[in-house]
Amino acid sequence: MGNPTHFSLEVPKRAHQLLRDLYEQLGDSEGTKLPLKATFLLSVSMPIVILPIERILKYKRNPNEVHMNDAVLNARLADAVDRAIDLEAKVHEAKFFMGPWQHATLEKGSGFPNLAADGLPEDIAQQLDSPDAVEDARNLSANRFCKILRNALAHGGVLYLDQHGRSRSGAPVRRFAFVSTNSPNNPTKLHFLRIKMADYRAFLQRWVDWLNEEAIEEILAEGLGLEAPEAEAEIIPEEAAKAVVE
């Protein structure tokens, strides 16, 4: 593959191909060998999620900014991204959504805790354990959901969690928590999105499929050489899902 013609479409597709081809080749912890599955999954997901938001949605909504504008390269895809990441519509209605995710918030009060030092607060973990947390995530606006995910990935707001969704040093990683403030200026709360690794991997599959499905007719018409998306629904067997660890 050479230089991408449509960076925010082709690079996520290439990143996802790396995930499909290499993920299962990474072993779990063995002697002095570092376990890398969670780190690889998280690293590969960054361009998959961030690029369409930064290089399509940003410029679709701010057309006067032009220095990295992929929105003009495929009007069909740009309209679809803008429409899907709706300011008000619930995220579970979006074509790219796949869960279950869990959502909770933490008011700032006298100050935010240092999550880097203390990990996920137990009271937040308990909120996320509630069935209401799944509904809260589903009912976030698509815009808010994508902002939380984008901000967490772009600014290092990610926590590695064990199978119970807690921060526990040395434990195999089974879940992620994505953390973002509600506003870049004078934030008043933190948003937490928690998900199992296997479910996050399935979400990334759906996200890339969505981009391909929305773009493919115009892409083919312009002769960019991408094949039509096939049904790639990657079913992770129960045994494999249990073994998805860092």
DSSP secondary structure, 160-211, as one string:
EE-TTS---TTSPP-EEEEEEES-SSS--EEEEEEEEHHHHHHHHHHHHHHH
Position 217 confidence tier, pLDDT thresholds 50, 70, 90: low
User: What are the tens digits of pLDDT across the range 73-109?
Assistant: 888 899 999 999 999 999 999 999 999 999 999 999 8
Position 192 confidence tier, pLDDT thresholds 50, 70, 90: very high
Of residues 184, 161, 186, 156, the one with CA closest to residue 172:
161
Q: Three-class SS of residue 52?
A: helix
Residues 227 and 221: beta-carbon distance below 8 Å: no
pLDDT (mean) for 46-56: 94
Of residues 55, 76, 79, 53, the one with CA closest to residue 67:
55
pLDDT (mean) for 59-67: 86
Task: Classify the C-alpha dihedral 138-142-145-146 as positive or negative.
Answer: positive
Which residue would you say has higher pLDDT here, 234 or 3?
3
